[in-house]
A and B are shown apart, each in its own frame.
Chain A
Amino acid sequence: MAAIPREKPTRSGEARAEFARYKSDVKTRGKPFFPYAMFHDTIMSLVVVATIIGLAAIWKWSSWGPHHDPTHKGLLGPIVDPPADPGTTSFVPRPDWYFYFLFYLLRIFKWPESVFLGTIGIPTIALVLLIALPFYDRRLERRPSARPVAMVAAVLTIISMGVLTWKGATAKEALASEVIQDVPRWIQQENLPPAAVPGAKLFATAGCTACHTYAGSGGSNLGAPDLTSIGTRNLGIQFQINHLKCPSCVNPGSPMPKFASLGETRLHQLAVFLESSKGTH
C-alpha cells in the first residue's frame, strides 16, 4: 500500500478522524476532571495566591524605611513614588517590567527614519504572527520532537524577548540626574585631588557621560572614547580647554558638540579634572 505522507495537511479527512479518535479515547480511557485534574489545578492556584500574597507582604515590609517613610526604596521598590510632576527635568521614565522588551526595542531603533518600526511596526507584525499561527502552521503533527521549525522559532523568540527584557531593565541613560550620584565613587576610585572635584561635578552634569564612559559610569555613543585614564596621556590643561571649546577644530570629523558656552572658569575646572584622571586603582 502506498505510504500516505502524514505531513501533508488534509484537514478534512485526517484531522477530523484524529479528533474523533481523541474524543472516543477520552471517553473510554479518560478520567473525570473532578477530582483528578482539578486537584492539580487547586494546588497550583494555591501556589499562585500564596505567591501574590507573599510578594505583597515583602513589598510592604522591605519598604518599611526609617520613620515608616513610604518612599524608602526596599527590595521590591518603594511603596509610594513621588506624585506626578509634568514639569520635571530630573526623572527617568520607565514602563512596567513586562513592557521592557518594547521599551528596549525603542532604544534599538535610534535612527529617526526607523522610529515607527520600533513603536508600532514590529509589535504589530509580532501580534499578527501570533494570532495567525494556527493558519500558517497547518501540520497535524503535535510532538515537539517532530516540529523542528516551531521549536527553533519558539526558542529564538523566548531568548530574544528575555534578552530585550533584561537589557531594558538595565538600560541607563547617564544624564545629569543619575550620574551626579557617582561622583563620590569617582573621587575615591580615581584618587582625585580636591582641585579636581568641581570639574568632576561638571563632568557629571554637563552631559559628557551621555557619550563617554568614565570609571564604570556613562554610556558609549557615537564611538566616544572611555575617559577613565585620559590623564595618563598628559595632553595638558590648555589642550583640554581648546578641545572642549571646539572639538572638531582640534580633531577634524569629531561629532562632539562645542562646550565653549560653559565659560573659561568651568572649562578650566573640567580640564583639571580630566588631567587628574589617571585611572582607577
Chain B
Amino acid sequence: MATPRRQPTKAQIRHQKMEELVIYPIDWLEERSGLVGGIRYFLFRNVPSDVNWMQTLGSAALTAFLVQAITGVILAMYYVPSASTDPATGKPVAWESIVNISDHLTLGWLVRGMHKWGASVFIILMFLHMGRVFLFGAYKYPRELNWIIGVLILLTGMLEGFTGYLLPWDQTAYWATVVGINLNGTAPILGPWLAQFLRSGQEIGLETLPRFYSLHMLILPGAIIALITLHLYLVVRLGVTSPPWSKDAAGGEPVEVEEPARRPGLTRPVPRTANGAAMQAEPGGRD
C-alpha cells in the first residue's frame, strides 16, 4: 500500500478495455446459464502431476469416435440403404451409392476411407485404453462403475462395427453378416428368435439392411453417446489416477508436505515436497 501507483499507460488502458470486451459475453452467458463455471471447472481442475502419456489413450479413443460420428453423419447424406436392385444396372442400390461416394463424389473417397479406417482405429484405441486402465489398476475402488461403463462402450463399439459392416452390401458385408446373425442364432432358447428379429425374417431380405442402418445410425450411437457422457462425468468426478509405480503417486503413502504458500485460483502449485526432486522437471513450466 505504500508503493505509489503509476498512472496506467494508454496501452494498458486499451488492453484492459479489450479484456472487458472479451469477458463481457462470457459473463453474460455465465449469469444466464451457469455453463461457464462448469467448463472452467472441467478445464482447470487438478490432475495428478505425474500423469503419463499412456493416459491419453482415452481421449484419443474419444477423438476417434468423434471422427466416426462426423464422417458418418455426412456419409448418411449420400448413402442409400436399399438392398433392391437398380433396374438400369442390375446392381444393388446401396452398393451403387457406395461406389458413387468412393468414385464420383468430390472427396467422397476421403470421408468414406476415414470412416472405414476410423472404425478400426477406434476399436484398437479402446482395447489399448482398456489395457492401460487394467495395468494401472484403475478399475478398483471407487472406479468400478466406470470400468463397467467402459466395457459396455467397448461392446457397443464392436456392435457398431458389426452393423456398419453390412452397409456397403458387397460380398464381404453380406456373408459376414449371415454368419454373425447365425452365430447369435445358436444361443439356447432365445437365439433363433433373436436371429429372426435381427434379420426381420427367416432369411436376410429387403428389410434387413434398413434395420441394420437404423441400429448403426440411431440406436447404437445414442447408446454410445449416453455411455460416453456418463463415463466422462465419472472421470471428472472421481479423478484420474497416478501411475501406480510412480514415487509421487497421489493417494500413496502419506508424504511430508509443506503447504506451499500460494494464492488460490488457477496457478499451478509450487512443488515443495520432501522428495520434490521428481516434481521439479515440469515441461515448459513457469514457477
Contact of A83 among B147, B170, B186 (CB under 8 A): B170
Q: Nearest chain-B residue to A43 (Cβ)?
A: B56
With an 8 A cutoff between CB atoms, is B227 at the interface?
no
Give chain B residues whose Cβ lies under 8 Å from the Cβ of A127.
151, 155
Contacts A33-B44, A48-B64; A59 near B117 (Cβ below 8 A): yes
Give chain A residues whose Cβ lies under 8 Å from the Cβ of B45.
32-33
B257:A53 contact, CB within 8 angstroms: no
A54 to B244, CA, bound (A): 35
With an 8 A cutoff between CB atoms, is B116 at the interface?
yes
Contact of A81 among B48, B56, B137, B171 (CB under 8 A): B171
Q: Report how many residues on chain A are interfacial, defined by Cβ distance under 8 Å.
A: 79
A83 to B176, CA, bound (A): 13
A116 to B176, CA, bound (A): 18
A133:B139 contact, CB within 8 angstroms: yes
A and B contact pairs by CB, cutoff 8 A, 24 listed: A11-B141, A15-B141, A21-B251, A31-B268, A32-B268, A33-B45, A34-B44, A40-B53, A44-B56, A45-B63, A52-B117, A52-B121, A59-B113, A59-B117, A60-B113, A84-B170, A88-B171, A99-B176, A99-B180, A116-B187, A120-B184, A130-B151, A142-B136, A144-B244
Give chain B residues whose Cβ lies under 8 Å from the Cβ of A79.
102-103, 109
Give chain A residues whose Cβ lies under 8 Å from the Cβ of B43.
32-34, 38
A32:B241 contact, CB within 8 angstroms: no
Contact of A37 among B47, B174, B175, B204 (CB under 8 A): B47
A222 to B95, CA, bound (A): 41
A98 to B44, CA, bound (A): 37
With an 8 A cutoff between CB atoms, is A264 at the interface?
no
Give chain A residues whose Cβ lies under 8 Å from the Cβ of B186.
115-116, 119-120
Contact count A vs B, C-beta below 8 Å: 259
Give chain B residues whose Cβ lies under 8 Å from the Cβ of A28.
257, 259-260, 269
A142:B188 contact, CB within 8 angstroms: no
A56:B116 contact, CB within 8 angstroms: yes
* 8 A Cβ contacts from A1-52 to B: 11, 15, 18-19, 21-23, 25-34, 36-38, 40-41, 43-45, 47-49, 51-52
With an 8 A cutoff between CB atoms, is B173 at the interface?
yes
Residues of A near any B CB (own CB < 8 A): 11, 15, 18-19, 21-23, 25-34, 36-38, 40-41, 43-45, 47-49, 51-53, 55-57, 59-60, 68, 70, 79-86, 88, 91, 93-99, 106, 115-116, 119-120, 127, 130-131, 133-135, 137-145, 147, 150, 154, 158
Give chain A residues whose Cβ lies under 8 Å from the Cβ of B91.
83
Give chain A residues whose Cβ lies under 8 Å from the Cβ of B92.
83-84
Shortest CB–CB separation between residue A248 and chain B, in angstroms? 33
With an 8 A cutoff between CB atoms, is B144 at the interface?
yes
Shortest CB–CB separation between residue A279 and chain B, in angstroms? 37
Give chain A residues whose Cβ lies under 8 Å from the Cβ of B176.
93-96, 99
Q: Nearest chain-A residue to B142 (Cβ)?
A: A19
- For the A-B complex with A21-B254, A84-B173, A86-B204 known, give 15 more contacts whose Cβ atoms are closer than 8 Å: A21-B250, A31-B47, A31-B49, A33-B44, A37-B55, A37-B240, A47-B60, A79-B103, A81-B171, A84-B174, A91-B171, A93-B172, A93-B178, A142-B136, A143-B137
Give chain B residues whose Cβ lies under 8 Å from the Cβ of A15.
140-142
Shortest CB–CB separation between residue B212 and chain A, in angstroms? 13
Give chain B residues whose Cβ lies under 8 Å from the Cβ of A142.
136-138, 140, 241, 244
Nearest 7 CB-CB pairings of A with B: A56-B113, A22-B251, A30-B46, A142-B137, A93-B175, A134-B144, A81-B170
Q: Nearest chain-A residue to B57 (Cβ)?
A: A44
A55:B117 contact, CB within 8 angstroms: yes
With an 8 A cutoff between CB atoms, is B215 at the interface?
no
A15 to B141, CA, bound (A): 7
Contact of A96 among B46, B48, B165 (CB under 8 A): B165
A70 to B99, CA, bound (A): 8
A32:B44 contact, CB within 8 angstroms: yes
Interface string of B49-68 (1 = CB under 8 A from A): 10101011101100110010
Q: Nearest chain-A residue to B125 (Cβ)?
A: A48
